[in-house]
């Protein structure tokens, strides 16, 4: 159990951010995600600290597999267009 706790701690703290391809493929499957969440809940009834570490690792993994960065930012679009009928509108005309 201590080895699992150590591995979860290292992974959750981003010591191992890159997942192997087969693990990434598992995290893309909904059934695996549900089973992993069930594991987190079951472990939570036994050991709360380990369950929190597993939950953090799960969120980081799902976030990584979906292609998102760790911290999301807003993207500014430079090419915006206005419909021709809306060019002459004023706030009072709404």
Token match 């911290």: residue? 71
State the DSSP H helix or E strand holding residue 94, giving kind and residue range, or none if neither.
Answer: none
Task: Please indicate whether residue 16 or residue 47 has the higher confidence score (pLDDT).
Answer: 47
pTM of the model: 0.57
- What is the per-residue pLDDT across 38-62, written as a single tens digit (0 to 9) for each? 999 999 999 888 888 888 888 878 8
Mean pLDDT of the chain: 76
Provide the pLDDT for residue 68: 64
Residues 6+ apart with CB under 8 A from 42: none
User: Cα(91)–Cα(94) distance, rounded to whole angstroms?
Assistant: 6
In this predicted structure, the answer to whether residue 28 has a pLDDT above a threshold of 70 is yes
Q: Yes or no: say if 25 and 67 are a contact pair by the CB < 8 Å rule.
A: no
CA 93 to chain centre: 43
User: Cα(7)–Cα(9) distance, rounded to whole angstroms?
Assistant: 5
Where in the chain are the domains?
Answer: 2-65
Token match 């009834």: residue? 45
Judged by DSSP in three states, 61 sits in: helix
Provide the pLDDT for residue 42: 94
Task: Please indicate whether residue 79 or residue 19 has the higher confidence score (pLDDT).
Answer: 19
Provide the pLDDT for residue 66: 77
């Amino acid at each position: 159990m201590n080895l699992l706790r150590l591995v979860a701690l290292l992974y959750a703290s981003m010591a191992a951010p890159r997942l192997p391809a087969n693990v990434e493929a598992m995290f893309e499957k909904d059934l695996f995600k549900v089973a992993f969440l069930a594991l987190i809940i079951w472990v939570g009834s036994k050991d709360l600290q380990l369950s929190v570490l597993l939950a953090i690792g799960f969120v980081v993994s799902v976030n990584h597999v979906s292609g998102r960065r760790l911290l999301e930012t807003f993207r500014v679009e430079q090419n915006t267009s206005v419909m021709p009928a809306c060019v002459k509108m004023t706030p009072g005309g709404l």
